[in-house]
Amino acid sequence: MASYVVQRLLMLVPVLIGVSLAVFMMLHLSPGDPARMVAGMAATPKQVEDVRLILGLDEPLYKQYLRYIGRLVQGDAGRSLSTNKPVISELWPRYVATLELTLAAMALAVSVGLTLGIISAIRQYSVIDNVLSLLALIGLSIPAFWLGLMLILVFSLKLSWLPTAGRGGFSHLILPAVTLGTFAMASVARMTRGSMLDVLGQEYMQTARAKGLHARVVLLRHGLRNALIPVLTVVGLQTGQLLGGAVLTETVFAWSGIGRFMVQAIQARDFPVVQGGVLLTAVTFVLVNLLVDLLYSVVDPRIKVS
């Protein structure tokens, strides 16, 4: 197991080289001049050229890339072109904010989604199943920014129960977590329902019931546990995606997360920040996938990691 983890972690190296090269090329080949953005709208073309020299943006691309990688392996991701702060100190607090929001959203999605999915499965084709399926469909199709604004309208403006925007205590977390978690919640519910229905028809379920086990034990230990694998896959994928940033939710609720920040950085052509942010997201993806793979073997011991 340990060697498997190490092996997977080593895989990060080629992934990061590939990703950094791709991002670097994309940034430099797409239109928009970082020197102009740094120099500002009032700068003359001559002044823009001076800025380009100071920033080293006039050098051949391969030199710029090697210099970037050379510093990166020493733990220096450079400084932001627009704020002049170290990229890491710009990214990290926002990453933590996104992590906080994602974990809250996924906790909500998993707890509620699993419960609703199980209820739907054991009451297949009942009224409650139909209602829940409809709700899941709405949850999957509702746009996050619209849902967010509606929640603000109701819970902040009309009822004054919850704060409108920004980070703070637990109360600040509720609306954005619900907004962000709704899609995942609906996917988890649907996936759980489908997967449970498969399992419920299996012969081992009949055996368990025939053994005289308590219905709850049958459902949770024999049923849910076997139904979890596809659900786990969905949760893993969703978590990875959300950690890359949930731009719309972050924007509506003024949540200072990494998604919104990356969009800003792209708009400002803040190359070091974009590169750093994409790398951080890539690492996150790899780690979340690794975690999911390890969890498979916990849920289903027949799956061995090697």
| Binding residue (CB under 8 A) for another protein from 15, 65, 140, 167 | 167
36 binds another protein (CB under 8 A): yes
For residue 297, count other CB atoms closer than 10 A to its CB.
15
Contact between 178 and another protein (CB under 8 A)? no
Q: Binding to another protein by residue 45, rule CB under 8 A?
A: yes
The interface region with another protein, picked from 48-56, 99-107, 183-191, 296-304 by CB under 8 A, is 48-56
Q: Please report, for the chain, how many H helices and E strands are present, in that order.
A: 15, 0
29 in contact with another protein (CB under 8 A): no
Considering the complex, what minimum distance in angstroms separates the CB of residue 15 from another protein?
27
Establish if 25 lies at the interface with another protein (CB under 8 A).
no
CB of 12 to another protein, least distance (A): 26
Using the structure block, give the residue that is written with the tokens 């990356």: 262
Can you spell out the DSSP letters for 167-209? --SHHHHHHHHHHHHHHHHHHHHHHHHHHHHHHHTSHHHHHHH
Helices 61-72, 12-29: inter-axial angle, 10-degree rounding:
140
Residue 216, burial from CB neighbour count under 10 angstroms (0-12, 13-18, 19+): exposed
- Check residue 214 for interaction with another protein (CB under 8 A): no
Contacts 24+ apart (CB under 8 A), 46-49: none
Residues 254, 164: Cα–Cα separation, whole Å: 9
Alpha-carbon gap, residue 98 to 101, rounded angstroms:
5
Q: Does 38 bind another protein (CB under 8 A)?
A: yes
Q: Considering beta carbons, is residue 47 or 289 the nearer one to another protein?
A: 47
Q: Report the residue number, 84 or 141, with the smaller CB distance to another protein.
A: 84
Q: Please say which residue, 165 or 305, places its beta carbon nearer to another protein.
A: 165
Number of residues that bind another protein (CB under 8 A): 55
Judged by CB under 8 A, does residue 289 bind another protein?
no
Contacting residues toward another protein, per CB under 8 A: 30-34, 36-45, 47-48, 50-51, 54-55, 79, 82-85, 89-90, 93-94, 97, 145, 149, 152-153, 156-157, 160, 163-167, 251-254, 256-257, 260-261, 264, 267-269
